[in-house]
Amino acid sequence: MTIEYDVALVGASPSNLTLAHRLVDLADRPIRIAILEKAREIGGHLLSGAVSNPRVISKLFPDWDHSDFPLEGVCRESFLTVASHRRWESVDRLFMPPYFKKEGYAIINISDMAAYMAKKLAEKAAAKPGVVVDMFPGFPARGVVFEGEGVAGVKVDDTGKPEDDILRAKVTVFGDKGFVSRDLIKKFNLRKNPQLYSVGVKEVWETPKSYQGKVWHTLGYPLMTGHLGGGFIYGCKDNRLIIGMVMALDYANPNIRPPQVLQEFKRHPNVQDMIRGGKLLKYGAAILPEGGYYSLPEKFAVDGAMLVGDALGTLDLKRFSGVDKAMESGYVAAEVIWEAYTRGRFNAETLGVYQRRLMEGWVGRELADSRYYREVFNDYPELLDSFIPRIIEGVNSGKSVWYAAMQAGLADIGGAFRLLGARKKMENPSDGMPPAKHTEDRLHIDPAFKAPPRDMPPDPAPNTVYSTADVVFYAHTHYEEGNRHIDEFDAKVCDKCIAQYDAAGKDTPCVGDCTAEVHQTLEKGGKRRHAMALENCVQCTTCEIVCPPVNLRVNAAFHGFGPNFMGL
């Protein structure tokens, strides 16, 4: 069966929902818009408790902070905190980089915001004669329909049967986190520099005390020396806390075990003080595309298709600015689509205006300003290997962050001067610097990795720390029997990978980095074989990213099955 629309949006993401809102606002003639969403309900697979600059939210909902908009709070206090295993100290405001200061930002839950945006979108479209917005939750896009040198739509399947249902459109916009947009990027060789990823794991807690409006971003414990990442804690309404960890995947350790890193974070005495006597409500995991400016595709549009949000890769790691930039990409794309619609031309030239406008605006300027931020940690490994660990050691012994940093610099004068170059590259990059060159995350993994020794906090309070098997329960995953959504291309390739990592005394990366105990190695026929407990899967795609032989692919599950991240 084939159905036709003027515009097809792949994924009910903040970027695509913003695009739809703006397109409906502009529409002064009939237009038909379809939104495909793989979750059973809009927002159900979106995981991000965000502290976001409300600059795009306010364009769509000017009264966002005084209305029924699902606001968790407005940031009143923000902290950049250095943590050892038993203490933490926040950076003095005087020395805190301005982009870490989040006062006035909206604390939002993306799943709830998406559901709200969808509701308001339906109301807005209903008030405009001839404007149709059809939303299809539980209907994942399963593949791109290529036609000539462009895109004609997507394959849609909610049955699992081999027959393809086709949704054709004049322009198809991909706002998904790689499930089908990667095929578009590969087909037209759009991304010359690999995307880099982190994995984020988070929980929502109901706590005895309210922390609404307070925001912490942490570095140090519990991450191992050399591992880029950090923790975050956001105080929400109704005595709820969002607690999470973000960890780079371009790290040598094949066994990061993200859910357990989060459990270790919760063991910290300061975090224990917040959650002791509280109740775990939700758990989830997702990847973050954080390669930034130099991982952007060379073209943002081809004949009949565009990339926005996470499919494009607009996350600005330096500013922790992802939601606002994703939404702005949708906002700008909508204006270009409307111009193309009125002219009746949807080729790469017409749609390509979007790239110029986005990059000449504040999204492009900020991404360009942050273009070396991610690379600096590879160019100056001493940042994570020695300088920051010295600061953490100083904080652990009772010193302020400023004093500990000064001591760290004095301990290695030459290294401190070298790190001034790192700071310049982060904060004030010059036009003469060469482009950053990224290496795929999986190529950094080393089977021979040896974990450095670490100190651990005291034992946690009861019912505050969980095994991975137990915490996955709080992701509320649900699948029908036989819903196989992860492809293993060649079992023999997995056998070789298992043998290699067994010899090194490690789990394979798909097992060691899994966020939900999906991947396993089981004894079968005298050999250890790869197996999957797909009923646990939260569809984060970490396994695909870290698979050394590129032998896995995560697809959208049929019928809207998977985790339930509403409220997360």
Three-class SS state of 90: strand
| pLDDT at res. 421 | 82
| pLDDT at res. 161 | 59
Q: Is the pLDDT of residue 420 over 90?
A: no
Q: Which residues contact 537 (CB under 8 A, 6 or more apart)?
A: 477, 479, 485, 486, 516, 518, 554, 557, 562, 563
Helices and strands (H, E) in the chain, number of each type: 20, 22
Record the tokens describing residue 142, joined without a space. Answer: 């399963």
- HSE on the CB side for 220, CA within 13 Å? 28
Convert the pLDDT of each residue in 480-509 to its tens digit. 888 889 999 999 999 999 999 999 999 999
Convert the pLDDT of each residue in 231-249 to its tens digit. 999 999 999 999 999 999 9
Q: How far apart are CA 501 and CA 467, in angstroms?
A: 23
| pLDDT at res. 433 | 85
Record the tokens describing residue 95, joined without a space. Answer: 């020395």
Convert the pLDDT of each residue in 277-317 to its tens digit. 999 999 999 999 999 999 999 999 999 999 999 999 999 99
> What proportion of the chain, given as a percentage, has pLDDT over 90?
88
Helices 14-26 & 323-343 angle (0-180, nearest 10): 40
Q: Is the pLDDT of residue 37 over 80?
A: yes
Record the tokens describing residue 82, joined without a space. Answer: 């250095």
Record the tokens describing residue 222, joined without a space. Answer: 């519990």
Instruction: Domains for the chain: give ranges and CATH numbers.
Output: 2-64+110-192+293-369 (3.50.50.60), 373-435 (no CATH), 468-560 (3.30.70.20)
Contact 139, 180 (CB under 8 A): no
Specify which residues 280 forms β-bridges with: 205
Contact 539, 563 (CB under 8 A): yes
Which pLDDT band holds residue 426 (cuts at 50, 70, 90)? confident
Contact 40, 137 (CB under 8 A): yes
Specify which residues 202 forms β-bridges with: 244, 284
Q: Is the pLDDT of residue 464 over 80?
A: yes
Q: Which residue has the tokens 């097992």?
A: 511
User: Residue 349 to residues 16, 183, 187, 303: CA-CA distances in angstroms?
Assistant: 21, 21, 18, 8
User: Residue 511 to residues 111, 223, 250, 521: CA-CA distances in angstroms?
Assistant: 28, 19, 16, 8
3-state secondary structure 114-159: HHHHHHHHHHHHHCCCCEEEEEEECCCEEEEEEECCEEEEEEECCC
| pLDDT at res. 1 | 85
| pLDDT at res. 415 | 75
Contact 545, 249 (CB under 8 A): yes
Q: Which amino acid is at 443?
A: L
| pLDDT at res. 167 | 96
CB atoms within 10 A of CB 51: 22
Q: How far apart are CA 494 and CA 500, in angstroms?
A: 10
The answer to whether the predicted template modeling score (pTM) of the entire model surpasses 0.75 is: yes
| pLDDT at res. 185 | 97
Three-class SS state of 78: strand
In whole numbers, what is the pLDDT of the chain averaged over residues?
A: 95
- How large is the average pLDDT for residues 45-55? 92
Burial category of 459 from C-beta neighbours within 10 Å (exposed 0-12, middle 13-18, buried 19 and up): exposed
| pLDDT at res. 422 | 83
Q: How far apart are CA 113 and CA 116, in angstroms?
A: 5
Which pLDDT band holds residue 558 (cuts at 50, 70, 90)? confident
Q: Which residues contact 388 (CB under 8 A, 6 or more apart)?
A: 219, 220
- How large is the average pLDDT for residues 451-455? 90
Convert the pLDDT of each residue in 365-412 to its tens digit. 999 999 999 999 999 999 999 999 999 999 999 999 999 998 888 888
Contact 69, 237 (CB under 8 A): no
Convert the pLDDT of each residue in 140-172 to its tens digit. 999 999 999 999 999 997 555 556 789 999 999
CB atoms within 10 A of CB 546: 26
Among 563, 461, 472, smallest CA distance to 517 is for 472
Q: Which amino acid is at 490?
A: D
Q: How far apart are CA 510 and CA 523, in angstroms?
A: 17
| pLDDT at res. 163 | 65
| pLDDT at res. 419 | 80
Q: Is the pLDDT of residue 174 over 80?
A: yes
Q: Which residues contact 470 (CB under 8 A, 6 or more apart)?
A: none
> What is the full DSSP assignment across 260-278?
HHHHHHHTSHHHHHHHTT-
